[in-house]
Homo-oligomer: A and B are copies of this chain.
Amino acid sequence: MRKLASTNFENQKRLESLCGLPHAMEVLKGRWKVNILWSISLGNKRYGEIKKDIGFISEKMLTQRLRESEADGLIIRKDFQTIPPHVEYYLTEIGTDLIPVLDQLCKWGYKARNKNDKEISEH
C-alpha cells in the first residue's frame, strides 16, 4: 500500500513530473514486471503459461504484477468467465511499443554484465 502523504511518495511524483523516464521506470519497476511483459510478448497468454515460462515466480507476485500492468495500461485482461477459470492477457498498443525498447535494454544489459564481470575477474 502506498502512503500518500510521505516524502517518499512526493519525491516520486516530483520526479515523474520532470520527464518521461521516471514514469517509465515506475511502470517497469519491481522484480518481475519486465519478464512478465516479455513473456506475454512471446505469445504466452494464460496465467499458467506465464508462470511456467518464468519458472519460479510465486502466484501472488504474478497476480499482483499483472494487475498493476493492467492498471498502467500495458496489458488487457480477458476473462472468459468460465469455470474452471480461463483468462488471457494481451499487450495493449502502448505495451507493444515497449517491447523494442526492452529489447534494446536487454542487449545493453548483456554488454554491461559481461563488461563488469570481466573487470571484476581481472583483480
Contact = CB atoms under 8 A, between A and B. Distances in A.
A21 B54 CA distance: 13
Interface string A13-45: 011101111111101110110110010000000
Q: Name A's interface SS.
A: helix
B11 A38 contact: no
Interface residues of A, number: 44
A112 B100 CA distance: 15
B15 A73 contact: no
Given A73-B116, A112-B27, A105 B21 contact: yes
Interface of A: 11-12, 14-16, 18-25, 27-29, 31-32, 34-35, 38, 55-56, 72-74, 94, 97-98, 101-102, 104-113, 115-116, 119
